[in-house]
Amino acid sequence: MQKRLFITGGAGFIGSNCANFFLKKNFKVFIYDNIIRKSSIINFNNLKKNKNVITQKGDTKNYKKLENLILKFKPDLIINCAGQVAVTTSIIKPREDMESNVIGTFNILEILRLNNLKTKLIHLSTNKVYGDLENEKIYQNNKRYYLKKSFSGFDEKTNLNFHSPYGCSKGAADQYVIDYRRIYGLNTYNIRQSCIYGPLQYGIEDQGWVAWLILCAITDKKINIFGNGKQVRDILHVEDLTKLFYKIFLSKSRKIDGYYNCGGGLKNSISILELIDIIQSIKKNKVSIQFRPKRKSDQKIFISNNKKLLKTFNWKPNINKFDGINRLYNWILENKKNFKKFYK
């Protein structure tokens, strides 16, 4: 029997990549998205051309509509990619941020609980649940921040510390997903992602920074660097992320707590300044930059420790940052016409 996947936020960057991956695994896929971002319209229209895709415009805040669609579709797996995704937007519109991230996620959980569904749920959380990590002893050189040499990444024992409305809303949703597994026995998996990048990522200045910097370089647009540019993240190619989701779907084990840090790890860590160097080497030309004041609640460094994922699902990143950045650079070049539709 054909397996069924329901993706909230399914026309976004990660959601549409999940759809394409699971379609190749012969899944029937339901795309549910409010299509607020112009870039989502492109992904939405492309996906609905596939005979194994059902598309529906809607919002996870609409409980009754979401419940009716899920009960009718009867998914084996739900991937919750919906939600507000930018710290800066959350500071400007905290109510919108809370309703999108908390209420939307809570509705999915309640639909599963009240209807006694055995559906697996993969929820996309964030490393921002750990706050700005200012208590860590952080060093720096001329290109990046770093921690002591023995540092192997932040694991799931790192203290939770919600900073910014975004951190609060994603943190609250994160804890609901974990607790509904513990209290009600739901089959939930909470993925605390670092920075994900790859094709179909129409980055903006507030979110999707790897794609945004590449786009600026390609279009000769000046890059704003908020802070000194030494901030470090471990970047994970979206192809590796979708493979993790498939491993989770196939897994039969329930003797696990269900929450994981997920990123590119130490080998794929990179600062803004280092990314600019790589982009310049690909472009074979200098890019224009200007420094701006540091953003509130911006972590100086976050690198995921993926050992728990490796132990539980035998998963680790395969695409290194140099290969992945090259791939994304070429994808943006090939799709400049799409970018021109909604970027001035």
pLDDT in tens, 127-165: 999 998 888 899 999 999 999 878 999 999 999 999 889
pLDDT of residue 46: 93
* Nearest of 29, 114, 30 to residue 67 by alpha carbon: 114
Lowest mean pLDDT among 35-44, 187-196, 207-216, 312-321: 35-44
pLDDT of residue 317: 98
pLDDT of residue 88: 83
pLDDT of residue 344: 57
Report, in this order, helix, strand and coil percent for the chain, each rounded to 5: 45, 20, 35
The encoded tokens of residue 296 equal 């509130």
Average predicted confidence (pLDDT) for the chain: 94
pLDDT of residue 86: 82
For residue 339, what are the β-bridge partners? none
Distance CA 80, CA 308 (A): 21
CB atoms within 10 A of CB 45: 12
Q: For residue 167, is pLDDT > 70?
A: yes
pLDDT tens digits for range 217-245: 999 999 999 999 999 999 999 999 999 99
Question: Any idea which residue has 């908390």 for tokens?
Answer: 102
Q: Which string of b and e fits 266-298 if b means at least 16 CB within 10 Å?
A: eebbbbbbbbbebbeebeeeebebeeeeeeebe
Is there a contact between 297 and 129 (Cβ–Cβ < 8 Å)? Answer: no
Q: Vertex 302, ends 79 and 91: CA angle to 5°?
A: 70
What are the start-end ranges of the E strands in 53-133?
53-57, 77-80, 120-126
% of the chain surpassing 90 pLDDT: 85
Helix (H) or strand (E) run with residue 241 in it: helix 238-250
DSSP-derived secondary structure letter, 247:
H
pLDDT tens digits for range 55-94: 999 999 999 999 999 999 999 999 999 998 888 888 999 9
Q: What are the residue ranges spanned by the domains of the chain?
A: 4-340
CB atoms within 10 A of CB 139: 11
Distance CA 342, CA 197 (A): 19
For the CA atoms of 127, 131, 132, 134, the dihedral, rounded to the nearest 10 degrees, stands at -120
Q: For residue 333, is pLDDT > 90?
A: yes
The encoded tokens of residue 80 equal 């919750």
Average pLDDT, stretch 307-319? 96
Q: Which positions ≥6 away from 2 have C-beta within 8 Å?
A: 26, 27, 28
pLDDT of residue 2: 96
Distance CA 208, CA 239 (A): 16
Q: Which of 166, 189, 197, 329 is catalytic?
A: 166
Distance CA 88, CA 96 (A): 12
pTM score of the predicted model: 0.96
Its CATH architecture, for the domain 4-340, is 3-Layer(aba) Sandwich (3.40)
pLDDT tens digits for range 248-289: 999 987 667 899 999 999 999 999 999 999 999 999 999 999
pLDDT of residue 343: 65
CB atoms within 10 A of CB 148: 9
Active-site annotation holds for 343: no
Q: For residue 121, is pLDDT > 70?
A: yes
pLDDT of residue 296: 81
Going by pLDDT thresholds of 50, 70 and 90, the confidence category of residue 341 is confident
pLDDT of residue 132: 86
